[in-house]
């Protein structure tokens, strides 16, 4: 049964400017340039270029408006605002070193294109060429063929209507495994290493022993059960060490040996902030070198001035045109203001991080890093935690000791025996130093590492040590053992 009723609701809605500000705050510098170029293409009122005159007084745009308010700005705002204040005129918005040219990189043939070019050098039948191209298409970027032959044969039967035997596929695979780089087309790590060792001089006793280890004692080799290998092959420890050195020279990822400029793992980083040290002082800049300056078009300001002088005699078409222009002017002003707010928010947040981790940024020593969470920076800046999270996400800073993601400076904390609060990153640094300095013939176990940290005043359980070790990408003691 349908009923009519009145209901009052209290809702919170974001204004278009707030939504635009949030979206711009999330993107890093390299995407901001693309976003500005897109806005320049879509909005004819927005122009790229420096201001032509002195800086005028800026007006704050009210975020909340009554429903009956028809205009965001008065007509006089558009007429007088022929010189839009630039968000880049602030000296803190760019580095003192204006000439920061990026090094271009060349685009060569991809890994798979290089494999296909080698295919043309072989004398193959028409059917073998089809099979070879299909197998090459299933080889991953590391150079491995991880699909089963039966699955490839089924795909050929369904997609190409080609019935092929396992023997025919295997014969073509053997041809592909002769391609460069050595090891390409292998179905597992053991086969990959064996393909590489087979291209060396097998008459050499060291190479011969290395091949025997890979072929017959691969499981013991990967688990570093060296005592078992010595016992089974009846060799001396020094012989084993020389053979292992030869194996370790092999490439477990042959696909990476051929430069693939289109590899998905390639990640070009453009820092959002630049931190410089000068005479004992830290100077923070926004990296705005690739961000164009924006202003409103003088042509549209003149159009409004002309309309204001002849408002009473304007035709309907002229009024419609002016309405369209006004919408574009509003959009342009919102966009410029959103970028200005973005950069002010980013500078405010980064300056707070800089003040909080001041001792670390002077020296770059991880042990000087204080425990810090998003709430700490939110309290310092007066911004919401979600805003701090958006600023930190996917942003980088270039310092005098390297380029780091902003997330790197955030870490949890714990208390020492003396009651001092330290960062978990400091503990990880001590853990890394202990492992780097251990005797490789008898690496430190997690229990022993826990004891060492406890002796230094860090009360950490063995399972916590194991967690930090895994986060550092370090294997267990048995796998760190060396002869």
Which CATH number characterizes residue 424's domain? 1.10.10.60
One domain, residues 349 and 454: no
Burial (CB count <10 Å: 0-12, 13-18, 19+), residue 32: buried
For the record, the structure tokens of 252 come out as 């477990």
One domain, residues 225 and 159: yes
Q: Are 307 and 325 in contact (CB under 8 A)?
A: no
One domain, residues 117 and 89: no
The 3 state secondary structure assigned to 383-408 is: CCHHHHHHHHCCCEEEECCEEEEHHH
* Within-domain flag for 23: yes
Own/partner contacts of 14-22, CB < 8 Å, gap of 24 or more, are 15/63, 15/64, 16/334, 17/61, 17/63, 17/334, 17/337, 17/338, 18/63, 20/334, 20/335, 20/338, 21/338, 21/341, 21/342, 22/390
Neighbouring residues of 92: CB distance < 8 A, sequence distance ≥ 6: 284, 285, 286, 347
- Structural domain ending residue among the three candidates 339, 356, 389: 389
Domain span including residue 203: 111-257
One domain, residues 123 and 230: yes
Would you state the pLDDT for residue 348? 92
One domain, residues 166 and 250: yes
First to last CA, the chain: 84
Q: How many domains does the chain have?
A: 3
* Within-domain flag for 213: yes
Nearest to 390 by CA among 340, 342, 425: 342
One domain, residues 379 and 292: yes
- Structural domain ending residue among the three candidates 242, 257, 272: 257
One domain, residues 371 and 295: yes
* Within-domain flag for 211: yes
* Within-domain flag for 398: no
* Within-domain flag for 61: no
One domain, residues 320 and 375: yes
The torsion defined by the Cα of 314, 317, 323 and 324, in degrees rounded to 10, comes to -140
* Within-domain flag for 311: yes
What gap in Å lies between CA 369 and CA 363, rounded to an integer? Answer: 10
Would you state the pLDDT for residue 54? 37
Does the predicted TM-score (pTM) go above 0.85?
A: no
* Within-domain flag for 402: no
User: Along the 483 residues of the chain, how does pLDDT read in single tens digits?
Assistant: 678 888 888 877 766 667 777 888 888 887 888 888 888 888 887 887 655 543 333 333 333 333 334 344 444 454 444 444 444 444 444 444 544 445 454 555 678 888 888 888 888 888 888 888 888 888 888 888 888 888 888 888 887 777 888 888 888 889 988 888 888 889 899 999 999 998 888 889 999 999 999 999 988 888 888 888 888 888 888 888 898 888 888 888 888 755 544 444 456 778 888 888 877 788 888 887 767 788 877 777 677 667 766 666 667 777 777 777 778 878 888 888 888 888 889 899 999 999 988 888 887 877 778 888 888 899 999 988 888 888 888 889 888 888 888 888 887 767 666 666 677 777 888 888 888 888 887 888 888 888 888 888 778 888 888 888 888 888 888 778 776
One domain, residues 418 and 373: no
One domain, residues 236 and 181: yes
- Structural domain ending residue among the three candidates 355, 389, 423: 389
One domain, residues 382 and 469: no
Strand partners, 139: 145
Report which secondary-structure segment, H or E, holds 217: none
CA angle, corner 330, sides to 324 and 331, nearest 5?
90
For the record, the structure tokens of 86 come out as 């630039």
One domain, residues 222 and 341: no
Nearest to 370 by CA among 378, 361, 379: 361
Q: How many CB atoms lie within 10 A of CB 135?
A: 22
* Within-domain flag for 443: yes
User: What stretches of 234-315 show up as alpha helix (H) in DSSP?
Assistant: 237-248, 298-309
Would you state the pLDDT for residue 58? 35
Q: Are 328 and 45 in contact (CB under 8 A)?
A: yes
Nearest to 218 by CA among 198, 239, 247: 247
């Amino acid at each position: 049964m349908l009923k009519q009723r009145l209901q009052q609701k209290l809702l919170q809605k974001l204004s278009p400017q707030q939504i635009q500000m949030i979206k711009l705050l999330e993107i890093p510098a390299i995407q901001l340039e693309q976003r500005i170029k897109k806005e320049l293409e879509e909005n004819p009122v927005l122009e790229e270029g420096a201001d032509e005159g002195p800086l005028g007084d800026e007006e704050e745009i009210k975020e909340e408006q009554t429903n009956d308010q028809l205009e965001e700005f008065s007509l006089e705002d558009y007429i007088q605002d022929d010189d839009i204040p630039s968000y880049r005129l602030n000296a803190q918005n760019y580095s003192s070193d204006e000439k920061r040219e990026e090094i271009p990189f060349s685009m060569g043939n991809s890994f798979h294109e290089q494999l296909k070019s080698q295919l043309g050098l072989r004398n193959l039948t028409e059917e073998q060429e089809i099979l070879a191209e299909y197998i090459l298409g299933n080889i991953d970027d590391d150079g491995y063929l991880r699909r089963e032959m039966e699955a490839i044969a089924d795909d050929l039967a369904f997609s190409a209507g080609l019935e092929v035997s396992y023997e025919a596929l295997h014969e073509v695979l053997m041809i592909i495994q002769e391609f460069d780089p050595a090891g390409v087309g292998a179905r597992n790590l053991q086969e990959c290493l064996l393909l590489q060792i087979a291209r060396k001089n097998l008459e050499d006793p060291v190479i011969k022993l290395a091949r025997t280890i890979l072929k017959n004692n691969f499981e013991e080799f990967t688990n570093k059960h060296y005592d078992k290998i010595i016992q089974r092959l009846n060799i001396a420890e020094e012989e084993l060490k020389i053979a292992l050195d030869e194996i370790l020279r092999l490439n477990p990822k042959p696909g990476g040996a051929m430069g693939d400029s289109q590899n998905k793992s390639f990640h070009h980083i453009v820092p959002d902030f630049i931190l410089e040290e000068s005479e004992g002082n830290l100077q923070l800049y926004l990296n705005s070198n690739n961000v164009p300056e924006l202003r409103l078009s003088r042509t549209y300001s003149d159009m409004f001035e002309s309309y204001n002088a002849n408002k009473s005699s304007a035709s309907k078409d002229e009024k419609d045109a002016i309405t369209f222009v006004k919408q574009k002017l509003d959009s342009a002003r919102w966009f410029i203001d959103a970028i200005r707010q973005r950069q002010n928010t980013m500078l405010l947040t980064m300056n707070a991080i800089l003040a909080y981790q001041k001792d670390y940024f002077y020296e770059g020593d991880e042990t000087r890093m204080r425990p810090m969470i998003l709430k700490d920076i939110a309290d310092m800046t007066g911004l919401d935690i979600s805003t701090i999270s958006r600023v930190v996400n996917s942003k980088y800073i270039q310092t005098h000791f390297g380029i780091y993601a902003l997330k790197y400076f955030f870490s949890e904390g714990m208390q020492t025996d003396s009651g001092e609060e330290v960062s978990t990153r400091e503990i990880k640094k001590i853990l890394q130093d202990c492992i780097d300095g251990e005797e490789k013939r008898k690496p430190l176990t997690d229990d022993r590492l826990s004891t060492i940290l406890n002796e230094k005043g860090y009360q950490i359980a063995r399972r916590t040590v194991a967690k930090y070790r895994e986060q550092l990408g370090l294997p267990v003691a048995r796998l760190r053992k060396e002869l």
